[in-house]
Structure 1
Amino acid sequence: MGNDNQQIVIRGTGIISPLGFNEASIGAAYKAGKPAFSTVTHQGQRIPAALLSPAARLLLQELLQQNPVYRQLDCSVLMAIYAARQACQQAGWLPSDEDRPLSDDLAVNIGSSRGATGLFEQHYEAYQQEQLSSNASPTTTLGNLSSWVAHAVNAGGGQISHSMTCSTALMAIANGAAWLKAGMAQRFLAGGTEAPLTDFTIAQMKAVGIYSKLYENAFPCQPYALVKQNTFVLGEGAAVFALEQVLRHQLKSGDIVVEAIGMGFEKISSKTGISPDGTNFQKSMRHAISQLPTEDKTIDLIITHTPGTYAGDKAELAAIKTVFADAVPAITTNKWLIGHTLGASGALSLQYAINVLKEQDFPFLPYPSAVKASSITSIKRVLINAAGFGGNASSVIITII
């Protein structure tokens, strides 16, 4: 990834998800290995969904009290603000004086697959009743994700909001690394957020025919399941990372380094852009691995995208077997615990990877699957995959010093 002497380090992590509201609470949840699903009613039908916990909801309510203007924002924006402030606090970047000049060396890229879905649906309903608010346009544009985050952390550098469907968050990490290496920013906040548990968004997923019917099952989302069925479940959450570029000799024990970032794309062969051999995944993984040192390209663990769709999961596993042949690393995912958070999923997987590197442990899948329980004892390097509609895929490799 460019100059080998320059390293991209994750200085801080902010997260809110169905499992918790910071690294400690979410780390404990991963250790417990208990799924965070609830049963909700959608259009008269019971379905599983992964909602934020009451404690996390309360923290978002407290955030609203800090700035009355936040009340007009979508939940996706509020979660991004919450996670970004947490990441900046951990990195030591959060200004104590709100009247300080903007930090022009700090840039922001927060992405989302769907954006302000909840607020958009509310405004559209008001429009049908001829009661549309003047806030409708500025609060539903995708750009308000990064602009409000920048406002909340006093960032005065570049502000980017984007959507690359479910690859969105890892694409933000790629942007952050590129900006830092190009000297266009000295510090960078990158991540993803998604609040898709709305009537229309759920209906769209059901219309594709992938939504899980296992609402009474302890594990309604089952990536790699042996049974031929779709077990896709929507979840919500956000994760943001404080990135900085340092010289190799400045690295310290415990630092998390972004070693490589790969991209892949394939011609669309279906409405979701999935091919049986996962060509996009093959390309993104090979692209990332090619950036590792020649003398050591070992991957210890892969955190897969696998959202519980039979065709998609099978394609990604096929891609992994093609790329790694007889040396397939250990494989895991967090979607059996939190479902698929669309544009935020890559960020939540990245945070999961950081947790695995620090704890040297991860829960095994508790249901019959195509992935065997791993006996790995040392995890030094993790590859994270994400893919989205349209044939795109991305892979990020991180390591711990």
Structure 2
Amino acid sequence: MRRVVVTGLGMVNSLGLNRRDSFKSIAEGQCGIKRITSFDTSGFPVQIAAEITNFDPNEVMNPKEVKKADRFIQLALKATQEAMQDSGLLNSEGKCDENIADRFGVSSGAGIGGLGNIEKNSITCFEKGPRRINPFFIPSALVNMLGGFTSIEFGIKGPNLASVTACAAGTHAIIEAGKTIMLNGADRMLVIGAESAICPVGIGGFAAMKALSDRNDDPQRASRPFDKNRDGFVMGEGAGALVLEDYESAKARGAKIYAELVGFGESGDANHITTPAPAGEGAARAMKAALSMAQVEVDYINAHGTSTAYNDLYETMAIKQVFGSNIPLISSTKGQIGHCLGAAGALEAVISIMAMEEGVLPPTINQEEKDPECDLDYIPNVAREKKANVVMSNSFGFGGTNGVVIFKKV
């Protein structure tokens, strides 16, 4: 099978509108979680999130087109524009050349899609009748429109795929892209993971199932992965993008190669719709599969680390089961940018690759009181300067769907 490398990176989240600003803030231990400003949270049990408050969709789309795309698509365009420019594959017109377009594909992922637009148009239908529904509603909300909009944006004509696997969607999008290139279905794949579900029904729904932290008066310390006093995740929004490419093609054109995708693993828990399999059994199988494929020693794990009681405990147990006495350094960046649901895997892959590039492993902030059952080195509170040649990124989603990717320096 062909080797797959990363030649472009982009991301947007509550700490930055590009990968450099975002990673710098993450490495500094900053937190993008605050009180929600996009809607009135009066009466909501949860009033905090990692919102992106300085993003203007008119900067990435023609203003006439903005109403045709839900916010998760708009954020995706921001991240993909950065990744595509970074890859060096765009011509002077901002498109990929015709001679590579047919062998250039898109693999996208989101957990929910256009939830905000679904909510708004449902209210419109109920209050004003079906004739008042926005005609762009359906195409604005579909997850695969991430690939639709971006393929049009850049003239990409290869395979156009979408993964809708809850919080593992971004990681599964990377895996699907990697498989496509390895099996010669394309030479290059643009990977996108995006989500924007910070809306009344999104916050209300997750709050109703008691999944969210309700530390409304202390938002900066609300998300606390692996800490003894963790009480739920904090919702985030954002997008991560990667350009994956056949190694020989990248080498031939003199592209900057950030990393090689050397391993991936997938599994299903077959246990419970929201709770991970006991002791992280499903997560462990995904990690083992990725390691079996990669045949490398991992230096750093970007954990799923949601700041929920069961996830953090079971992920810790799974890591112990898989790595034994040779456990890598671990951190979760969700304490800083929130849990971006289907975008999380793509964002965290970008963060992990940048950690390799910069020689700085991001911290797990808000680790104030050690949980005796979560007793590994999670790089508490302060980033660690350390060379890492191999990084692993974990993603686990509702429904018991698990995805793991491993990247290595070339």
TM-score normalised to structure 2 length: 0.89
1:288 paired with 2:282, answer: no
Q: Which residue of 1 aligns with 2:27?
A: 31
Q: SS in structure 1 opposite 2:245?
A: strand
Equivalences for 1:58-73 in 2 at 5 Å? 58=56, 60-64=57-61, 66=62, 68-73=64-69
- Answer whether contact 2:5 2:257 (CA < 8 A) is retained: no
Deviations 1:138-166 (A, max 9, x none): 22223322111111111111212230111
- Work out the CA distance in 2 between the residues paired with 1:254 and 1:204: 41
Letter in 1 for 2:407: I
- Work out the CA distance in 2 between the residues paired with 1:386 and 1:175: 14
RMSD: 2.2
Q: Which residue of 2 aligns with 1:199?
A: 200
Q: Please identify, of 96-105 and 278-287, the stretch whose mean Cα deviation from structure 2 is larger.
A: 96-105
Letter in 2 for 1:61: N
Q: Which residue of 2 aligns with 1:389?
A: 398
- Work out the CA distance in 1 between the residues paired with 2:338 and 2:174: 22
Q: How far off is 1:351 after superposition? A: 1.0
- Work out the CA distance in 2 between the residues paired with 1:284 and 1:144: 28
**Judging changes above 3 Å, is the alpha-carbon distance between structure 1 residues 150 and 126 closer, same or farther for their aligned structure 2 residues?**
same
Pick from 64, 88, 93: which aligns with 1:92? 88
- Answer whether contact 2:264 2:406 (CA < 8 A) is retained: yes
Letter in 2 for 1:125: I
Q: How far off is 1:362 after superposition? A: 2.6
1:149 paired with 2:154, answer: no
Deviations 1:281-300 (A, max 9, x none): 1011000000123xxx3111
Deviations 1:202-237 (A, max 9, x none): 11111111210122233110110112x423100000
- Answer whether contact 1:300 1:380 (CA < 8 A) is retained: yes
Q: SS in structure 2 opposite 1:223?
A: coil
Identity %: 23
- Work out the CA distance in 2 between the residues paired with 1:330 and 1:298: 12
Q: Which residue of 1 aligns with 2:408?
A: 399
Unpaired segments of 5 or more residues in structure 2? none
Q: Which residue of 2 aligns with 1:356?
A: 355
Q: SS in structure 2 opposite 1:97?
A: coil
Pick from 211, 215, 224: which aligns with 2:226? 224
TM-score normalised to structure 1 length: 0.91
- Answer whether contact 1:117 1:201 (CA < 8 A) is retained: yes
Q: How far off is 1:122 after superposition? A: 1.3
1:327 paired with 2:329, answer: no
Q: Which residue of 2 aligns with 1:174?
A: 175
- Work out the CA distance in 1 between the residues paired with 2:232 and 2:136: 37
Deviations 1:145-202 (A, max 9, x none): 2111111111111212230111101111111111111211111011210001011111
Q: How far off is 1:76 after superposition? A: 0.5
Q: How far off is 1:376 after superposition? A: 7.6
Q: How far off is 1:367 after superposition? A: 2.6
Pick from 60, 76, 79: which aligns with 2:75? 79
Q: Please identify, of 106-115 and 240-249, the stretch whose mean Cα deviation from structure 2 is larger.
A: 240-249
- Answer whether contact 2:275 2:310 (CA < 8 A) is retained: no
**Judging changes above 3 Å, is the alpha-carbon distance between structure 1 residues 249 and 242 closer, same or farther for their aligned structure 2 residues?**
closer
